[in-house]
């Protein structure tokens, strides 16, 4: 019969058209005999099939990722050798990162630029289109790869193993690129690794897929764009002129998008779709966290498909229930970075149970690990998690989370407070609360615990955020207790704005709790950062309220403390009133048997005497205070007294003794991390040296260190130090 294969040509298949079964798309010949039609189908030769070119084109201008593209060149252009010397291997590259970070765009851009490296074509498979709830359909994905290599459905093997074997056969001898997009399991990759020398597989995944490293894959995490990169992307989408016209608003939009390209693209699309919407107006809208994710979505029928929430949704939906719950609750955690212990507290889990769930979130790309080993959610991921919590968690559960977290931080901060200053005046009686808890700053078996001051410094932003959140939830008692304990940090590190805010929150909560002693304590402490910030009228108002609350409380030591703070205010305006306040503080402390309090009151009284011109009397009072404080082992306060002794010697005309005392005081204060008082001593030293004609370099060194301290704490004195240093430089230039 004509048209029948002789067995040596390409495979043919005969079909009976009466049966309705037709296999294959190509008809080679057909004859009719007795009303029966036969069709002979012949597969094309493998080399005659058009080479695949499936990687999607980029429809917008690609900017940024220069370093990442160069890394891909280095890793994949030589078959994975990374050196270009051996092109016989198969390169595997894995782009990982947050959903919406730009992994697909980066992969497509590299494929576009690397077309000449892969003369036998490029295959693209999007696993998100194959997702069935349990991961991508691997068998169908390999089938897609085989179709790209010329295998028709009529000849498609049924099993995954057979398809994998055929894919290797068909790819052998070809140098090609396979791009596997949105992979979520290593098993989706391995069957699609081509066999042709010099070929490469480029994978994108929200998950880290560390198992692929065993196969030689090089993991390349994509980070959020930096500020400059975000501005380039916004300008590419909106136009250079539009960005230049509203540069401040454009910079704010980039900041609010957190370097997430999907967010920037949606923002740009909203601006393009609404000509009357300005960058300034959009930045104001997105500044409200409660509206930000809603604002990062396109209006209209396809809104759900083009939004930050839509980009994050698939990764969230793939989480196991326990990991999804932890994800939601972490979104409600006030702390922006946190350790596994805090995460466990947030979810009411044992630390051993929280650890694997945190690993799951890291693997899913929904949680980052910082260089310090802590965890962090990207700002927009946090808002998405918070959005899911609002939808899926009862309000009672969210308030309970806040209560657990503020209690957690109260315990840790209280332990740190006691480790730093065991004998400091405290209104909160937390002995019972802390009695059953392990002290993380203790030294069991002689092993040193973590430095409490360093821990407070590292957790400063988190503690402040916890104070805000707990106050909003009406948890006023633990709020004022936490604010009181937290202030020990600021006695050593003068972060004035944070100190002021924490005490304002604490004082307001003490008022709500009807705790006059706590209110007096916190308002008197609040006068210190207020005075350092130059808000003297406000400081006086707080002190007047503190005196009234302390008198109502009947707490003798507290009354003495408040009088001490009042004296420090009057030091600036009326030395006589200051000395009267210090004497009253000294009397009250003596009445209460408070030896340290009396010594501190004597110290401030001596300072006031010196300011009032009684330098010899001041020296007697200050020496007495210094001896008492030294006997009690209070090195920090003793050093402050020594600095005051140095100042009094200077005022009395004895600059040699003044210099010796101030130098020693600055050294002890620096060693004790009392940097604010170290700066004061250094400025006094600089004054003396400048006045007595000492080496300019020594003066400059003292002022530079004082500037460093004041600038770090946000003090107004920083500008004074800058001006003095500039004056020294100017004098040096004139003398040269």
In a shared domain, residues 113 and 234: no
71 and 210 part of one domain: yes
Contact 485, 452 (CB under 8 A): no
Q: Judge whether 598 lies within some domain.
A: no
The answer to whether residues 676 and 664 touch, using CB atoms and an 8 Å cutoff, is: no
Q: Single out the residue in 306, 324, 339 at which a domain terminates.
A: 306
Residue 497 lies in a domain: no
Q: Is 302 helix (H, G, I), strand (E, B) or coil?
A: coil
For residue range 19-65, what is the model confidence (pLDDT) as tens digits? 333 333 333 444 444 454 444 445 555 555 678 999 988 877 888 88
Q: What is the mean pLDDT of the chain?
A: 86
CATH of the domain at 380: 1.10.10.10
- In this structure, the answer to whether residues 287 and 236 fall within a common structural domain is yes
**277 inside domain:** yes
**In this predicted model, what pLDDT tens digit does every residue of 390-403 receive, in sequence order?**
999 998 998 999 99
Q: Are 688 and 657 in contact (CB under 8 A)?
A: no
Question: What range defines the domain where residue 80 resides?
Answer: 66-221
Weakest-pLDDT range from 128-137, 292-301, 707-716: 128-137
- Per the listing, tokens 């200051």 go with 578
**Per-residue model confidence as pLDDT tens digits over 403-443:** 999 999 999 999 999 999 888 899 999 999 999 888 888 87
> Does any domain span residue 450?
no
Quick one: 331 and 382 in the same domain?
yes
Evaluate whether residue 56 is within a structural domain. no
- For residues 275 and 320, state if they share a domain: no
Residues 162 and 291 in one domain: no
- Does 325 or 82 have the greater pLDDT score? 325
Tell me phi and psi for residue 497, to 5 degrees.
-65, -45
Question: How far apart are alpha carbons 618 and 547 in whole angstroms?
Answer: 27
Confirm whether 400 is domain-assigned: no
Report yes or no on 110 lying in a domain. Answer: yes
| Start-to-end Cα distance in the chain | 110
Highest mean pLDDT out of 292-296, 312-316, 337-341: 337-341
**Could you tell me what percent of the chain has a pLDDT over 70?**
88
The CA–CA distances, whole Å, from 486 to 21, 474, 482, 522 equal 80, 19, 6, 11
Radius of gyration of the chain (CA): 36
Do 90 and 27 share a structural domain? no
Q: How confident is the model at residue 625 (pLDDT cuts 50, 70, 90)?
A: very high
Q: What is the DSSP letter of 131?
A: B
In this structure, the answer to whether residues 83 and 211 fall within a common structural domain is yes
For 446-480, how does the pLDDT look when each residue is reduced to its tens digit (9 = 90+)? Answer: 555 578 999 999 999 999 999 999 999 999 999 99
- Residue 78: per-residue pLDDT: 64
pLDDT score recorded for residue 609:
93
CATH number at residue 174: 3.40.50.300
Beta bridge partners of 91: 200
**Domain check: are 251 and 362 in the same one?**
no
Both 72 and 189 in a single domain? yes
Last residue of a domain, one of 343, 371, 393: 393
| Concatenated DSSP letters of 345-358 | HHHT--HHHHHHHH
Q: Strand 91-96 and strand 218-221: pairing?
A: parallel
In a shared domain, residues 129 and 195 = yes
The answer to whether 662 and 688 are in contact (CB under 8 A) is yes
| Residues whose CB is less than 8 angstroms from the CB of residue 434 and which lie 6 or more positions away in sequence, other chains included | 411, 414, 415
The answer on pLDDT for 383 being more than 50 is yes
Which of 221, 241, 262 is a domain's end point?
A: 221
Whether residue 27 lies inside any domain: the answer is yes
Residue with tokens 């036998």: 120
Whole-prediction pTM: 0.71
Spell out the SS3 assignment of 27-69: CCEEEEECCEEEEEEECCCHHHCCCCECCCCCCCCCCCCHHHH
Distance, in Å, from the CA atom of 691 to the CA atom of 477, rounded to the nearest integer, reads 52
Mention every residue, 6+ apart, whose C-beta is less than 8 A from residue 660: 646
- What average pLDDT does this structure show over 599-617? 92
Quote the number of domains for the chain.
4
Q: In the structure, how many helices (H) and strands (E) does the chain have?
A: 32, 11
182 with 256, same domain? no
């Amino acid at each position: 019969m004509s048209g029948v294969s002789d067995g040596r040509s390409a495979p043919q298949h005969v079909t009976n058209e009466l049966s309705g079964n037709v296999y294959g798309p190509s008809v080679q010949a057909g004859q009719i005999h007795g009303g029966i039609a036969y069709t002979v189908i012949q597969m094309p030769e493998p080399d005659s099939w058009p080479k695949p070119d499936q990687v999607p084109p980029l429809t917008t201008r690609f900017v940024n990722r220069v370093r990442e593209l160069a890394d891909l060149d280095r890793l994949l252009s030589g078959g994975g050798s990374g050196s270009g010397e051996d092109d016989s291997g198969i390169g595997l590259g894995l782009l990982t990162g947050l959903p919406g970070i730009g992994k697909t765009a980066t992969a497509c851009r590299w494929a576009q630029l690397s077309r000449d490296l892969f003369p036998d074509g490029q295959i693209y498979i999007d696993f998100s289109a194959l997702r069935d709830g349990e991961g991508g359909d691997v068998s169908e994905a390999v089938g897609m790869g085989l179709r790209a290599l010329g295998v028709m459905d009529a000849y498609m093997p049924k099993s995954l193993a057979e398809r994998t074997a055929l894919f290797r056969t068909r790819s052998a001898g070809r140098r090609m690129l396979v791009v596997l997009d949105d992979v979520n399991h290593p098993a989706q990759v391995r069957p699609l690794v081509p066999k042709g020398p010099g070929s490469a597989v480029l994978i994108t995944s929200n998950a880290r897929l560390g198992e692929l490293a065993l196969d030689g894959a090089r993991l390349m995490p994509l980070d959020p764009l930096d500020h400059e990169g975000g501005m380039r992307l916004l300008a590419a989408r909106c136009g250079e002129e539009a960005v230049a016209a509203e540069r401040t608003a454009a910079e704010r939009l980039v900041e609010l998008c957190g370097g997430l390209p999907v967010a920037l693209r949606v923002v740009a699309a909203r601006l393009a779709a609404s000509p009357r919407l300005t960058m300034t107006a959009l930045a104001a809208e997105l500044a409200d966290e409660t509206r930000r994710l809603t604002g990062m979505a396109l209006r209209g029928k396809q809104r759900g498909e083009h939004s930050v929430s839509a980009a994050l949704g698939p990764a969230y939906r793939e989480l196991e229930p326990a990991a999804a719950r932890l994800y939601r609750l972490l979104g409600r955690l006030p702390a922006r970075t946190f350790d596994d212990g805090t995460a466990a507290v947030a979810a009411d889990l044992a630390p051993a149970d929280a650890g694997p769930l945190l690993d799951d979130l890291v693997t899913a790309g929904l949680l980052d690990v910082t260089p310090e080993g802590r965890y962090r959610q990207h700002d927009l991921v946090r808002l998405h998690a918070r959005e899911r919590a609002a939808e899926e968690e009862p309000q009672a559960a969210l308030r309970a989370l806040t209560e657990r977290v503020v209690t957690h931080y109260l315990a840790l901060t209280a332990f740190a407070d006691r480790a730093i200053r065991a004998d400091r005046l405290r209104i909160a009686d937390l002995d019972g609360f802390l009695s059953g808890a392990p002290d993380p700053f203790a030294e069991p078996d002689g092993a040193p615990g973590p430095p409490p001051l360093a821990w407070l410094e590292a957790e400063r932003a988190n503690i402040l955020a916890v104070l805000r959140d707990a106050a909003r939830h009406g948890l006023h008692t633990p709020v004022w207790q936490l604010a009181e304990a937290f202030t020990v940090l600021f006695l050593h590190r003068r972060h004035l704005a944070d100190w002021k805010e924490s005490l304002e929150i604490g004082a307001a909560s003490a008022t709500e709790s009807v705790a006059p002693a706590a209110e007096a304590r916190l308002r008197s402490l609040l006068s210190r950062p207020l005075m350092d910030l130059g808000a003297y009228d406000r400081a006086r108002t707080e002190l007047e309220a503190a005196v009234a609350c302390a008198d109502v409380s009947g707490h003798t030591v507290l009354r003495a403390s408040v009088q001490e703070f009042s004296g420090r205010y009057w030091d600036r305006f009326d030395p006589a009133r200051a000395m009267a306040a210090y004497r009253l503080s000294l009397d009250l402390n003596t009445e209460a048997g408070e030896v340290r309090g009396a010594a501190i009151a004597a110290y401030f009284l001596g300072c006031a005497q010196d300011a009032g011109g009684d330098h010899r009397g001041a020296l007697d009072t200050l020496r007495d205070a210094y001896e008492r404080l030294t006997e009690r082992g209070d090195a920090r306060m003793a050093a402050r007294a020594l600095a005051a002794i140095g100042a009094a010697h200077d005022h009395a005309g004895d600059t040699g003794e003044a210099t010796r005392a101030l130098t020693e005081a600055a050294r002890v204060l620096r060693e004790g991390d009392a940097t604010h008082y170290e700066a004061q001593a250094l400025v006094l030293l600089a004054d003396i040296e400048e006045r007595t004609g000492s080496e300019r370099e020594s003066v400059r060194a003292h002022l530079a260190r004082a500037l460093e301290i004041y600038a770090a704490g946000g003090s107004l004195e920083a500008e004074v130090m800058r001006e003095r240093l500039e004056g020294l430089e100017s004098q040096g230039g004139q003398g040269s």
